[in-house]
A and B are shown apart, each in its own frame.
Chain A
Amino acid sequence: MSNILEINRLYVSYPSGRSGIFSRGSITAADDFSLELEEGCSLGLAGESGSGKSTIARAAGNLLKFNNPGVRISGNIVLKVNGEVYDYARLNREERAKLRSYVQFIFQDPSGSLNPRFNIGEIIQEPLKHLTSLGKSERKNKVIDLLELTGLGEEIYYRFPHELSGGQKQRAGIARALAAGPKILIADEPLSSLDVSVQAQIINLFRKLKNELNLTLLFVSHDLSVIENLCTDVAVMYLGKILERGKCGKVFSNPGHPYTKALISSVPVPAFSENKRERILLSGDIPSTLTRPQGCVFAGRCPEASDECLKTVPPLEVKENGREVACIKRL
Chain B
Amino acid sequence: MSTRLYLGDEALAQGAIDAGLSGAYAYPGTPSTEITEHVQRHVAETSQRIHCRWSANEKTALEEAIGMSLAGRRAMASMKHVGLNVAADPFMNAALIGTRGGLLINVADDPSMHSSQNEQDSRLYADMALIPCIEPADQQQAYEAPGVAFELSEQFELPVMIRLTTRLAHSRADVKVGAEEPSPQNPFSLPDDRQRFILLPERARRRYQWLLSQQPALETASEESPFSHLVLEGDPSLGIISCGLASNYVREALGDAVGHPWLQIGQYPLPARLIHTLFSTCQRIIVLEEGYPFVESRLRGLPLRSTPKLLGRLSGHLPRTGELAPEEVTNVLRSPDAPPSPRQASPSSIVRSRPPVLCQGCPHIDSYRALNQAMAPHRERGRVFADIGCYTLGAMPPLESIDTCLCMGASITMAKGAADAGAFPAVAVIGDSTFAHSGLTGLLDCTAEHTPITALLLDNDTVAMTGGQDSQATGRFVGLCESLGVDREHIVRITPRADLHEENVVKIARELAYEGPSVVLAQRACIQTLRRSKATEKSSASPDRRRSEGGQP
Do the two chains belong together in a single complex?
no
Task: Using CB atoms and an 8 Å cutoff, list the residues of chain A in contact with chain B.
Answer: none
